[in-house]
């Protein structure tokens, strides 16, 4: 069943992007992983080629394309084993906050650079003592006659080193209601009081720079407020639907790539009897089970992508998809490692990299336990 109606233009875009990855991304992947960062010039090259923020309206130098072009970028980077180049985090999770809630002046100032890759964005919510629970944030923002003063720290911030523009969530300490206290701001790198910590060493996504961000009496102009003061929690909730859908799309694509790789390897490997692994019933049954599970997840996710493009509210469904697909990716990757044994353990192999990179997906964008809490709440349980 063809749920997503990819046009010839979509397919041409996919083929062009696959070639772009083969030429400009994959050859540099090992170096970027070793250095723990994708260099800014690679972001600029991606933007110049037209693969960042493809949905941004033409008036801000974008192409005004539909969400399927974003899906293509997500899928192809994952399938190429280049998840650490988190273009979709920038394009489809962070920049939408600016496009949806920024003033006309903010959009004119920043969106063209986001499209071109000259601006790399980060979103700063997680803190040392506040992860999935947004109401537990300790970072504070106080308004005065000249703007806002931000104090606090954020941790595990993706694109933390590269970012020259960050979307920051902070609370007003004068407001007791944690849901009404949060506001969102854009803060440019170089703003006095805004400093970056060292790159954090991670198990996976090694080419994606992750860092702590610190704010000490950081003064933010009033025009850098996104949306209305005190509406930060609602804005975060509105955008988390797409964020979790991005996770689900990436997880399904990753699981598909793992099984495809495992089948190819199993066909070329021999068991103790000297026969290809794919002739062993336990192996073939495992591969069939893994493929079946992925196809069912793919159908669900494609349906959600179509509904999302139609503007439907799917808080429950995207939360379900996020936890289910990322659990599926984790379990299938571990099962594939069991099947291939030592051949999957080489640190540079596709399977080892997939295991490292995919493990975080059950944790970020809200842990899978939080996804189930959300579903239970909306189901009246």
Question: How many helices (DSSP H) and strands (DSSP E) are in the chain?
Answer: 13, 8
DSSP E strand stretches across 127-209: 140-144, 147-158, 165-171, 182-188, 194-199
Q: Which residue has the tokens 């920043």?
A: 110
Rounded to whole angstroms, the Cα distance separating 217 from 220 reads 9
147 is written with which tokens?
A: 């703007």
Rounded to whole angstroms, the Cα distance separating 27 from 23 reads 7
- First-last CA distance in the chain: 33
3-class DSSP state for residue 5? Answer: coil
Instruction: State the sign of the Cα–Cα–Cα–Cα dihedral 32, 37, 40, 42.
Output: positive
Q: Which residues pair with 218 in a beta bridge?
A: 150
* Residue 334: φ, ψ to 5°: -65, -40
Rounded to whole angstroms, the Cα distance separating 247 from 324 reads 11
Count CA atoms closer than 13 A to 379's CA, side-chain side.
11
Please check whether residue 336 is in contact with residue 262, taking contact to mean a CB–CB distance below 8 angstroms: yes
Q: Which positions are catalytic?
A: 243
Residues contacting residue 217 through CB under 8 Å, at least 6 positions apart:
149, 150, 151, 193
Measured CA angle at 131 (ends 127, 93), to 5 deg: 95
DSSP secondary-structure letter at 201?
A: P
Neighbours of 309 (CB within 10 A): 13
């Amino acid at each position: 069943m063809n749920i997503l109606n990819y046009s010839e233009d979509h397919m041409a875009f996919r083929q062009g992007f696959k070639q772009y990855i083969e030429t400009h991304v994959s050859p540099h992947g090992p170096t970027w992983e070793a250095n723990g960062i994708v260099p800014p010039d690679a972001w600029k090259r991606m933007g110049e080629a037209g693969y960042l923020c493809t949905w941004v309206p033409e008036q801000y130098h974008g192409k005004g394309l539909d969400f399927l072009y974003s899906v293509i970028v997500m899928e192809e980077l994952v399938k190429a084993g280049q998840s650490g180049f988190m273009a979709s985090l920038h394009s489809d999770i962070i920049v939408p906050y600016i496009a949806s809630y920024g003033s006309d002046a903010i959009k004119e100032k920043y969106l063209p650079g986001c499209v071109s890759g000259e601006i790399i964005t980060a979103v700063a919510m997680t803190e040392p003592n506040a992860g999935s629970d947004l109401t537990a944030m300790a970072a504070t923002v106080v308004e005065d006659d000249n703007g806002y003063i931000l104090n606090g720290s954020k941790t595990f911030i993706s694109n933390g080193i590269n970012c020259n523009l960050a979307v920051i969530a902070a609370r007003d300490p004068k407001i007791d209601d944690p849901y009404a206290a949060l506001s969102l701001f854009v803060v440019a790198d170089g703003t006095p009081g805004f400093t970056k910590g060292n790159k954090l060493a991670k198990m996976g996504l090694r080419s994606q720079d992750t860092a702590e961000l610190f704010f000490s009496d950081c003064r933010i102009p009033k025009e850098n407020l996104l949306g209305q003061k005190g509406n930060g929690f609602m804005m975060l909730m509105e955008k988390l639907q797409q964020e979790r859908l991005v996770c689900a799309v990436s997880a399904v694509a990753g699981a598909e790539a793992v099984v495809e790789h495992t089948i190819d390897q199993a066909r070329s490997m021999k068991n103790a009897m000297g026969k290809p692994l794919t002739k062993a019933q336990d192996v073939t049954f495992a591969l069939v089970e893994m493929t079946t599970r992925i196809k069912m997840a793919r159908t669900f996710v494609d349906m959600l992508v179509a509904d999302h493009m139609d503007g439907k509210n799917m808080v429950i469904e995207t939360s379900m998809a996020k936890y289910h697909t990322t659990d599926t990716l984790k379990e299938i990757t571990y099962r594939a490692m069991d099947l291939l044994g030592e051949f999957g353990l080489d640190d540079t192999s596709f399977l080892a990299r997939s295991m490292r990179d995919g493990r975080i997906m059950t944790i970020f964008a809200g842990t899978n336990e939080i996804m189930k809490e959300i579903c239970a709440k909306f189901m009246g349980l």
